[in-house]
Structure 1
């Protein structure tokens, strides 16, 4: 620890004489003190300070003492720049200021010494003060260094010498310099200049202008504050308005969702009620048929199994009776091949289409598939391999049927007729004059039946000319079936129309479905003919064509029933629930 000098004076206060010495070093020290930088001048204490007031790191009296985590006190700078405590080698971390030690140091009696020596500066301020009141004294001390207000390049001055310096200063500016006067001189020339300065006579006007300008600036500042406040309020109001709008939108969304849910529930209730009423009617009809002796309880169809494997709705079905194979086309762009005889499992998945598979048809040992990708693919049933792809239409291929070694494909306002030559399809003719999508095609021995918007056209299978047109109601025709005695069609608006095949007169409209009738299929025996209908309402209905009544409603699918196929007395149904079900008596 460096020696602490003891002065010859015994004043119980610090001498500030050295603080305002005329030496450059003293001035620099004082400026740094006013700028709140660390005072690097040595201090000479009037009395020997206690060792307890000295930092064990720098060995000087504490400056800004702090307590660290180890419980010891050090200068703040020492604690921040040192890693370990010199007492117990603990890591140093500042916890809190040591106010008690700081107050003891503030009451200590000391004097500032000359730079590099422990002596009182005789040229400094003659007053003595306590160390804790040093800054308060310096604010009004005559020995406080100041700058010349005329020119910063003038040498540093003490407060007591400022007045004399101003009388001799050669850098006095005209008080009207802010208006553009360029005068600079001493006190004598300054007074002479004021007598001739062109701005002096206007000083009152200029002062009034300055005052008014200052008032306008204050007013403008106040207006700016008001505008800022109003903008802030407007921003808050906008935020509140946005929140209210979002809240209202959420509430409207909830209301719309609840309304939609209620509407769906109501529709479902009405649908179920309609089905229950129909079932009661069918039960009564069956009872009456049983009384009359024409009802056969062995003809009740039951679900015998479910084919699961597609990843999307099933839109079409086709049965290859020779090999007991069922083909199903789906929105997952694949065709699955199912064994319907023994295992009831998927034998293979045929991939090749880039769109939904909408139609399937078999001719000989060839499977033909139509898709939303506008193509027809030819598959070999024996090898289950793709053998050809034809760009068939400009729009999705909705339906396919074959007859007389010809393939018919239906699309938007068009039916194309293809000659089947091996694995090739050669366009033979395009049938026109159709008013909408052709979603249903059925071929018999002599005729082709096509369904579009409220119309069924009957074409001669050999001449490919339209020979008859049946007008329907209920929107577009989605399905057609032909029995030995009737032409049957299902429509968009839930209806099933029946015509006599010979007279072409409409004989009945069958009601009961509460959704679009997507598909129709026929099972005929020597004793009776049954027509099966599949609907958007998730049900299948069995219709007796002898008395035109529904004898059974099949409810096992969880989605709209979209496709039907029959083989050996069995009925297959495909649905939007991605499954295929098999029904038998």
Structure 2
């Protein structure tokens, strides 16, 4: 399983300092988080891990339909450039949580120049924190209609949490680092090195799907087809057979030259982001690649559909918005720049029904942006970078970071207009 320590979020950072001919040791192990790194990243990773990517969020994220000129409104958020600066309600303080406040002993109170909160901004708050994983949380799944939360980690376990009590009610030892996890209907799917594990939460059937080579970084389901993005650059597909109550191999999609770390289904298309810096667009009926998007210059960590747009993020410090033209091809209509590499994207709606984009960056923050303006709504601060975000019901969402902590957040029904 993949993500930290063995956390093979192989960020595959290219380049390195040409003045230093040494190959980065951490990069060879698939866990270098420096961008740019002073050492060389000029070989293929030698470890079995890579960017564990939660490939598909079940938020039903879908922006409101707009007119044909809607793509021209991207990035009109004000602040420091296109949404890169402080937005409405963002507290102007040092972007650091007070260590004394964490220990419960800060004597400065509101006068403290550091934050006495794990977030800044309006309209959302932290409900609770779940502790149990000993290494990075690489995946979170919340089956529809369930009262259980499933999490996966590079500590080679999956944990099951009771949503009412917040207690861990089960630990599953998987024998490998979790690269990804999703839920679909009664099924929970987990990607680990060389296998996909499947659990039916209703009849307790457990299946093990073989075929992947190396770590499974990404999973997504379309109708009765399960797709898995793997370390060798393949996308494997299984089809569910109701007669045998099993998943049978259906196809292998080839095209990427390096690991496939993110998958998303939308508009009868499968979108795959890869460590080869490209996004491929696949026709779900023919399973053929119909377009290759080459706008990023580093690993494409996450892809997300919103209305007629595709959003993608990369370690090249950008979020790109792709627009479907009349010909059916996707072109970049807007590029949002961050100061650090972007690890994962998740879309949801706030308490007012407005679309929000959550961007986890490798500076240990999650930025919240209004769409399509990219006006900054707030910020979540963590001890280590957040690699998994999952949307729950009624405005709840979950974040899992590199220390193994899971935090539960919710959108407040009536947000204050100002924060002092």
TM-score of the superposition, structure 2-length normalised?
Answer: 0.65
2:295 alignment partner in structure 1: 472
Q: Verify: 1:576 aligned to 2:398, yes or no.
A: no
**2:201 aligned residue (352, 366, 381):** 381
Among 388, 400, 411, the alignment partner of 2:219 is 400
Q: Quick one: distance in 2 between partners of 1:394 and 1:567?
A: 32
Instruction: From the two aligned structures, give the one with the greater strand fraction.
Output: 2
Query: Scaled by the length of structure 1, what TM-score is found?
Result: 0.48
Pairwise mapping of residues 157-556 of structure 1 onto structure 2 (< 5 A)?
Answer: 281-283=85-87, 300-340=123-163, 342-351=164-173, 353-371=174-192, 373-382=193-202, 385=204, 387-411=206-230, 412-422=232-242, 423-452=245-274, 453-502=276-325, 504-514=330-340, 516-524=341-349, 527-555=353-381
- Tell me if the contact between 2:148 and 2:161 (Cα under 8 Å) persists in the aligned partners: yes
The answer for unaligned runs of 5 or more in structure 1 is 1-263, 268-275, 288-296
Q: Tell me if the contact between 1:536 and 1:562 (Cα under 8 Å) persists in the aligned partners.
A: no
Cα distance in 2 for residues equivalent to 1:390 and 1:530: 35
Which is bigger in relative contact order (C-alpha 8 A, separation at least 6)? Answer: 2
Query: Is the CA contact (8 Å cut-off) linking 2:227 and 2:235 kept in structure 1?
Result: yes
SS of structure 2 residue aligned to 1:393:
coil
The within-5 A match list for 1:110-125 is none
Shift of 1:299: 5.7
Deviation at 1:528, TM superposition (A): 2.5
8 Å CA contact 1:485–1:502 kept in 2: the answer is no
Q: Give 1:405 shift.
A: 0.5
Count of aligned pairs between the two proteins: 297
Report the 3-state secondary structure (helix = DSSP H, G, I; strand = E; otherwise coil) of the residue aligned with 2:176.
coil
What is the alpha-carbon distance in structure 2 between the residues aligned to residue 540 and residue 454 of structure 1?
Answer: 22
CA spacing shift, 1:343–1:522, aligned 2, 3 Å: same
Deviations along 1:127-158, one digit per CA (max 9) or x if unpaired, are xxxxxxxxxxxxxxxxxxxxxxxxxxxxxxxx
Offset from partner CA, 1:32-72 (integer Å, 9 cap, x none)? xxxxxxxxxxxxxxxxxxxxxxxxxxxxxxxxxxxxxxxxx
Distance in 2, matches of 1:393 and 1:551, equals: 40
Stretch of structure 1 that moved more, 559-568 or 519-528: 519-528
Give the structure with the larger helix fraction.
1
SS for the counterpart of 1:389 is: strand
The CA deviation at 1:280 is 9.3
Q: What are the superposed Cα offsets for residues 230-287 of structure 1, whole Å, 9 maximum, x if unpaired?
A: xxxxxxxxxxxxxxxxxxxxxxxxxxxxxxxxxx9xx9xxxxxxxx989993246979
Distance in 2 of aligned mates of 1:377 and 1:459: 25
Q: Which residue of 2 aligns with 1:205?
A: none
Paired residue secondary structure (2:134): coil
Structure 1 residue 312 displacement after superposition: 1.1
SS in 2 for 1:418: strand
Q: Which 5+ residue runs of structure 2 have no aligned equivalent?
A: 1-33, 38-78, 92-119, 412-420
Q: Provide the secondary structure at the position in 1 that maps to 2:145.
A: helix
| Residues in 2 aligned to 1:579 and 1:554: alpha-carbon distance in whole angstroms | 14
Distance 1:313 1:540 in 2: 16
In the TM superposition, what is the alpha-carbon distance from 1:541 to its structure 2 partner?
0.8
CA distance in 2: counterparts of 1:280 and 1:417, whole angstroms: 39
Q: Which has the larger radius of gyration?
A: 1
Task: Look up the match of 2:387.
Answer: 562
Pairs within 5 Å for 1:76-87:
none
**Distance of 2:290 and 2:248 partners within structure 1:** 25
Contact 2:322-2:333 at 8 Å conserved across structures: yes
Secondary structure of 1:474 counterpart? coil
Relative distance call for 1:350 and 1:421 in structure 2 (3 A) is farther
Counterparts of 1:543 and 1:501 in 2: how far apart (Å)? 22
Question: CA separation of 1:298/1:459 partners in 2, compared to 1, >3 Å: closer, same or farther?
Answer: same
Contact 2:84 2:375 in 1 (8 A): no
Would you say the 8 A contact 1:474–1:494 is kept in 2? no
The Cα shift of 1:375 comes to: 0.8
For 1:374 and 1:309, the matched residues in 2 are separated by 26
